[in-house]
Structure 1
C-alpha cells in the first residue's frame, strides 16, 4: 500500500515537469504505467474509487470517469492525461 502512494506521488510530481524534455516524458509515461499496475489492485483493467482512495487521483476520479460507470479504464486515464498535458501546454503559451 505504501508503495502505491509512493508511485502515485511520483507521478503527481513528474506530470508538471514531464513536458519539459522528451526523456522526462518517457519517464512520466513509464511511471504512469507502473502506477497503473500498482493501483489496479484486482487487475481488472480499471480503477475503482476504492483503488484510488487516498491518492492524488481520488480528487479527479469523476473527471477521469468519462463514461460515468464508476470505473476508470486505462483509455479514460490516458485521455485524461493527454487532456491535462494539452491544458498545461496551452497555459504555457
Structure 2
C-alpha cells in the first residue's frame, strides 16, 4: 500500500514541481512544502528510500541525503530544492 501511495504521490507532484522551478521563489517554496507533505507518507519527518520509490525523486535520493544516513530530512530536502532553484536561475541568466 505504501508503494502505491508513493507512486501516486510522485506522479501528483512531478508536474507541479517541475513548473515551480520556473516560477517565483515563493511559489517554488510553497510547492516544495506541499511535495514534502505528500511524500512523507508516515509523517515521521524524514523520507526513506521506500517513500520515494518509483517516483521522480528516487534517482535524486542519494544527492538529497547530504549526511548519508539513509534518510532525507526536511532541511536536506529544502537545501536540495534551493540548490535546484539556484541552478535553474543560473541557466536562465
Whole-angstrom distance in 1 between the partners of 2:10 and 2:39:
9
Specify which of 10, 16, 25 is matched with residue 21 of structure 2: 16
Tell me by how many angstroms 1:3 deviates: 4.4
Change (3 A) 1:30 1:16: closer
Whole-angstrom distance in 2 between the partners of 1:90 and 1:28:
16
**TM-score between the two structures when normalised by the length of structure 2:** 0.80
Superimposed CA distance per residue, residues 34-74 of structure 1 (whole angstroms, 9 cap, x where no aligned partner):
22111111111000110001111111100000000000010
Aligned length: 88
Whole-angstrom distance in 1 between the partners of 2:16 and 2:74:
15
Structure 2: 5+ residue stretches without partners: none
Whole-angstrom distance in 2 between the partners of 1:10 and 1:33:
15
**Which residue does the alignment assign to 2:51?**
51
- In the alignment, does 2:70 pair up with 1:65? no
Contact 1:47 1:71 in 2 (8 A): yes
SS in 2 for 1:35: helix
- In the alignment, does 2:70 pair up with 1:75? no
Structure 1: 5+ residue stretches without partners: none
**TM-score between the two structures when normalised by the length of structure 1:** 0.80
